[in-house]
């Protein structure tokens, strides 16, 4: 297995007892990547150092505030965005002085909210961001993602059609052209590997629609995956089917083809998937595949439909779209609308999650709220 070389840039790198080593250790425990840590200097000098010594690395991880160390002499007076912009420019000019590789942002939750979340113009500089406080529990998961994104940068060039002068999206997604043509997905104007990789990651893999994640998969099958001992067995069956996504970035994220799930269901059963409720879906699956320990998912609240198709974005629990409230978000035509449950809104959990209702839903919510009688 290939181990990718990653450079981690942090202004605390040379301080005794600094946390950089523990952050790096959390991100390389599976040996998918190896990390070298360095401290930034004055921008022009530092760029020269990166070009001379580190341009052949497979990725950079950059701390958000490179000027935060109170013991620093003031050499680094810039944030990660400035460094990233300089590197991206150096990757895209006619005679690039940097190899093409992904950039990752590492930051505390506080700095993320204050210095990055609202800076929308800089979001496309980084392939993904990670919160330091989550590394202890999720470091291994993030390592797989970093490995996957690095790998995507190396795979994308092979999809370029010299005759058409464009990257072939269906080749990258490992699907037939007709499966994506209907959505008018177009990367013809994209010139950089970074653009293509980020588009596939942020607009297809991380957004349910053409592909769906495991929570939505379980919802559409009507299954409570947490309490179902046979969920793993059913998932193994699905992993061997054409439903499982095997295209670019599939080594970092498990995804399933939305339309192929519907087609697969119709091959197995006579009734369309969307016409059945959770009880009916689970009964058919249990009988067909002899899975006695599949439990049907229950509605978030009594009185709601169990004809699930989506999830509540706060609780990640199955939800019928008719019971959900549309979230205020930009949606491309190939992306599913996202919903939040009434319970999450009325208990203010949606606010804590940073979720806002679409303006078209406010009147319906206020009406439902006026009739709401909380349990005593």
Lookup result for tokens 């049907």: 296
Model's pTM, two decimal places?
0.93
Whole-angstrom Cα distance, residue 28 to residue 203? 27
Specify the CATH number for the domain of residue 68: 3.40.50.2300
* Residues spanned by the domain of 102: 4-156
Whole-angstrom Cα distance, residue 94 to residue 73? 35
Which pLDDT score, from 0 to 100, does residue 74 have? 65
Which pLDDT score, from 0 to 100, does residue 73 have? 65
Which pLDDT score, from 0 to 100, does residue 70 have? 64
Per DSSP, the three-state class of 212 is strand
Lookup result for tokens 């969307």: 274
> What 3 state SS string does 32-47 have?
CEEEEEECCCCHHHHH
* Among 170, 186, 205, residue at a domain's last position: 205
Same domain, 215 and 277: yes
Same domain, 115 and 182: no
* Among 173, 205, 237, residue at a domain's last position: 205
DSSP category for residue 337:
P
Same domain, 319 and 356: yes
Same domain, 357 and 305: yes
Whole-angstrom Cα distance, residue 7 to residue 52? 14
Tokens of 275: 């016409």
Same domain, 226 and 236: yes
Whole-angstrom Cα distance, residue 346 to residue 369? 8
Same domain, 120 and 212: no
Same domain, 150 and 100: yes
260 burial via Cβ count (<10 Å: 0-12, 13-18, 19+): middle
Same domain, 124 and 42: yes
Same domain, 227 and 344: no
Same domain, 17 and 120: yes
* Among 279, 297, 315, residue at a domain's last position: 297
Number of compact structural domains in the chain? 4
Same domain, 65 and 150: yes
First-to-last alpha carbon distance for the chain, in angstroms, is 58
Which pLDDT score, from 0 to 100, does residue 376 have? 45
Name the stretches of the chain with pLDDT < 50.
376
Beta strands in the chain (DSSP E): 4-9, 33-38, 59-63, 103-107, 128-131, 160-161, 166-167, 211-212, 256-257, 310-311, 318-319, 325-326, 339-340
Which pLDDT score, from 0 to 100, does residue 163 have? 86
Instruction: Work out whether strand 339-340 and strand 325-326 pair parallel, antiparallel, or are unpaired.
Output: antiparallel
Whole-angstrom Cα distance, residue 17 to residue 214? 40
Same domain, 8 and 131: yes
Span 45-85, pLDDT tens digits:
999 999 999 989 999 999 999 987 767 666 788 999 999 99
Which pLDDT score, from 0 to 100, does residue 77 have? 86
């Amino acid at each position: 297995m290939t181990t990718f070389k990653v450079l981690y840039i942090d202004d605390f790198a040379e301080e005794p007892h600094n946390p950089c080593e523990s952050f790096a250790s959390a991100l390389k425990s599976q040996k998918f990547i190896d990390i070298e840590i360095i401290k930034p200097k004055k921008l022009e000098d530092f760029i020269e150092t990166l070009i001379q010594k580190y341009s052949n690395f497979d990725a950079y991880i950059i701390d958000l505030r490179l000027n935060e160390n109170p013991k620093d002499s003031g050499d680094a007076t810039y944030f990660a965005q400035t460094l990233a912009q300089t590197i991206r420019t150096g990757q895209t000019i006619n005679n690039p002085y940097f190899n093409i590789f992904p950039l990752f942002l590492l930051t505390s939750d506080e700095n993320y909210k204050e210095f990055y979340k609202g800076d929308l113009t800089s979001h496309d500089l980084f392939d993904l961001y990670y919160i330091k406080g989550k590394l202890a529990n999720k470091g291994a998961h993030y390592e797989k993602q970093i490995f996957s994104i690095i790998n995507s940068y190396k795979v994308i060039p092979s999809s370029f059609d010299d005759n058409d002068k464009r990257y072939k999206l269906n080749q990258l997604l490992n699907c037939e052209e007709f499966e994506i043509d209907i959505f008018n997905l177009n990367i013809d104007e994209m010139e950089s590997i970074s653009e293509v990789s980020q588009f596939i990651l942020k607009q297809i893999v991380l957004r349910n629609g053409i592909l769906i994640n495991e929570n939505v998969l379980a919802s559409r099958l009507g299954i409570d995956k947490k309490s179902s001992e046979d969920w793993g067995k059913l998932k193994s069956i699905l992993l061997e089917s054409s439903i499982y996504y095997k295209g670019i970035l599939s080594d970092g994220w498990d995804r399933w083809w939305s339309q192929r799930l519907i087609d697969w269901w119709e091959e197995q059963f006579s009734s369309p998937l969307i016409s059945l409720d959770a009880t009916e879906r689970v009964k058919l699956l249990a009988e067909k595949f002899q899975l006695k320990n599949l439990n049907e998912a229950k509605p978030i609240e009594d009185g709601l439909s169990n004809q699930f198709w989506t999830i509540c974005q706060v609780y990640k629990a199955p939800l019928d779209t008719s019971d959900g409230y549309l979230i205020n978000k930009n949606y491309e035509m190939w992306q599913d609308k996202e919903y939040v449950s009434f319970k999450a809104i009325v208990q203010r959990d949606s606010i804590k999650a940073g979720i806002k209702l679409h303006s078209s839903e406010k009147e319906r919510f206020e009406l439902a709220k006026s009739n709401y009688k909380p349990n005593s």
